[in-house]
Amino acid sequence: MQPCFETATRLARAIRNRKTTSVEATEAHLERIARLNGAVNAMVVVDRAGALKAARAADKALAGKGFKPGPLHGVPITIKEAFDVKGLHTTSSHPPLKDNVATSDATLVARLRAAGAVILGKTNVPELCADFQTDSPLFGTTRNAWDDTRTAGGSTGGGGVAVAARFTPLELGSDIGGSVRNPAHFNGIFSLKPTEWRVPGHGHVPDLPGVTRAVRYMGTFGPLARSVDDLELALRIIAGPDGYEAEAAPVPIGPVPALKAGDLRIAVLESNPLVTVSQDTATVVQATARLLSKAGARVKRAVPEGLDWTQSWEDWCDLFQYLTLALKPLSARERFFPMIDSADPSARSAARGARLDMAAFFALLDRRDRTLRACESFLDTYDAWLMPVMPDAAFVRQSQRAPLLIDGTPHPYFFAGTSYNYLANLTGQPSIVLPCGFSKDGLPIGLQLTGKKWGEAKLLGVARVLEKLLPPCPVPPRFAAA
């Protein structure tokens, strides 16, 4: 077998059944990283010694009488650089943290280790995970797995490329505005953004070490992988409260239903009023809707009644600004005040958030509740909502100050880049990305399925139906024979 081309689920099974060993799988991934990572800069910390030590221990344990292996026993995986991994640097690409070495594992890293995973190392992120490109002031730029000139996505950009390039079968990422979803879309892989507070975030930066925790809304933590089975496997390992965060809820995931296409009612959104998607993206949405319909699903173009796209985007953006600016002194916040008249909606949002107006904050939370109710009621009628992840395939890397062009039409950078991902963060609903097609330039295009809060089991069942209708997870051509 070729360990680097196996999913985590299949690799775990092969190790348990003695078809391969953890050492063989780990060495194969480490060799591939050493040989190919230089072209894309996905991995920024490689713990060769630690990974091989853990792999040898995994093989020794498996040989012991009566040992019961965990679900990821002996499987090599990677971790987004923003999570604490004991003994390794955790900087979130933030220069003041360049010498910070984690003294313990983040909750989710500890859970993955307890499940038997072998940590290969850590993947690149933009500074404080605050971009949908991955250009790190500490580690440099990560390049798209399919095209050197294109963005890898972000903020789990290094992880998205690592999974696509077959450096790892599984990555742990985080998402407050698309950060596990857009790298999956841009690199042709799968990802899961769980329900808000399904998965705890203790040990994740940008809540800076030793500083009051401010990022309490919308942030989620989930896997990037190459199959729906792997998304489910990882979710069951990392979900559930850990005693550190009051918001994390002990809601059971439950069994994933065995669904057929004929069982499904799917709502489809081809384009929203904020940013019109590219023709390539529209074509993939249409083709995927036809694929589901032909298989027997009831497919209909539909949106939640009364959903105000502009207001809900502003609410997501304002809430994000409140979280990121809450601990800043007045002198630092005042520089945003003049932006209230900016033509850029992201700049206007920063000006509103910088005032830390508590009455406006609670009014925002009230509107957030109404948006959630509209989207939850909508999904009483449909099993999932299929829509784009981003307005287009991976774009050529560019400055944040330049507009994002969608089929030649300019849009403000952050506004366009979050225009399809923001809603599931605002509502807290889960969302799964699957690679569904390609642009005319041969770049992957993913679509996301969104479900009801706490409804990951059903959503995984829906995603599994679509996965079976689609071709296998694609391999970037330059990595296919490498």
Which residues are part of the catalytic machinery?
80, 155, 179
Asked whether the beta carbons of 138 and 55 are under 8 A apart, the reply is no
CA distance 181 to 157: 10
Residue 178 half-sphere exposure toward CB, CA atoms < 13 A? 30
| Residues found in the chain | 482
The amino acid present at 77, given as its one-letter code, is: I
283 within 8 A of 437, measured Cβ to Cβ: yes
SS3 177: coil
Cα–chain center distance at 346:
22
CB-CB neighbours of 30 under 10 Å: 21
Q: What does the block give as tokens for 412?
A: 């403000």
In eight-state DSSP terms, residue 37 is: G
Which residues are bridge partners to 101 per DSSP?
A: 89
Q: Tokens 């199959």 label which residue?
A: 227
Distances (CA, A) of 367 to 63, 311, 353, 378: 57, 9, 16, 17
Count of other CB atoms within 10 angstroms of residue 472? 9
